[in-house]
Copies of this chain bind each other. A is one copy, B any other.
Amino acid sequence: MRPLIWERTRIYKIMTDQACIGIDIGGTNLRAGVVVGRQIAHLHHEPIGAWRDPSALAAHLARVIPLLPGADREISHIGIGLPGIVDVVSQKILRSPHYPEWIDVPFGKIFYDALRLPVHLDNDANMILRGEHLFGAARGLRHAVMATLGTGIGGALLIDGKIFHGNTGFAGEIGHMVIDRDGPACDCGGRGCWELYASRQAFTQPPHEVTDPRQWAQFGKNLGIGIASLVNVLGMEDVIIGGGLSQAWDRFEGAMRAEILRRTYPETAARIRVHRAQLGDIAGILGAAVFSEGHHG
């Protein structure tokens, strides 16, 4: 539990005094917690390995949720972030790069049937940006783009204070911008996608074992190339960098910022603010639990 959240409680209007549950299902981990006000009562954390099948995952959640500290309160709703393309209208997951067997899966119905509480699904990166917007690095911003650096690069867009989904939830697949048209093949079918150069895929060894500053400088440079492209397309001044690899911030920050300046007009460059995400693991849970802000697109 982070005191950060509790201390900031008073500066936000409380939308609900009821408890709600936020669940962040990632490529490797499942995180969950009961959220009351802006505080997570307890952060539950486990590897997701065994629960890939949608029904098995739902049944597992139905067992775990009643055991979460705080779950004895009245629960108003459950928000769930999933790693993939979520159609927020039909509440289906259309595709997940991490779980190739998840094609057109009606997770909204599956979870509701198992949990018997109002359920709201969205892409995991959208939930994380929602959390950072409510309580973290994106507080008070009108427009922002977020990149989460992990196994790949997740992305989310904040437009006019709301998560932008595009036509059917595809918005924010920023890891598949092409930055090297003749580069190596990507799982998406393309070549030279950004996430090959600025996520864990950039390294042959685990990132914490990468100590050569030149490797991190190259990483930062490639990260900056994609950020410059995003800023040019979206005209947004605020970029939030999160995900596990953002822990290596000090190793890549300088090279990243230099490359952004190199790749943008001076008038643009002077206005860009790149922020490190503030909430770490709990952003996705908070964003999922407090989804009442609405969305468009």
**A interface residue numbers (CB < 8 A to B):** 85, 94-95, 103-104, 142-143, 155, 157, 159-160, 164-182, 188-191, 197, 222, 225-226, 228-238, 262-265, 267-268, 271, 296-297
Contacts and interface: CB of A to CB of B under 8 A. Distances in A.
Nearest to A197: B181
A257 to B, nearest CB: 15
Given A263-B189, A265-B188, A297-B143, A180 B177 contact: no
Contacts of A237: 166-168
Q: Report which residue of A169, A225, A267 has the largest number of chain B beta carbons within 10 angstroms of its beta carbon.
A: A267
A168 B235 contact: yes
A41 B289 CA distance: 56
Given A170-B268, A268-B170, A232 B181 contact: no
Contacts of A188: 263-265
B143 A177 contact: no
A168 B297 CA distance: 22
Contacts of A197: 181
Q: Report which residue of A155, A170, A228 has the largest number of chain B beta carbons within 10 angstroms of its beta carbon.
A: A170
Task: Specify how many copies of this chain sit in the oligomer.
Answer: 2
**The 7 nearest A-B residue pairs measured at CB:** A166-B235, A171-B235, A170-B235, A190-B263, A173-B232, A177-B229, A176-B232
Contacts of A172: 233, 235
A267 B235 contact: no
A238 B297 CA distance: 13
Contact of A182 (B168, B176, B180): B180
Contacts of A190: 228, 262-264
Nearest to A172: B235
Contacts of A142: 167
A175 B229 CA distance: 9
A170 B232 contact: yes
A172 B173 CA distance: 18
A234 B236 CA distance: 13
A225 B178 contact: yes
A16 to B, nearest CB: 27
B267 A174 contact: no
Nearest to A268: B170
B178 A228 contact: yes
Given A168-B271, A267-B85, A179 B176 contact: no
A237 B168 CA distance: 8
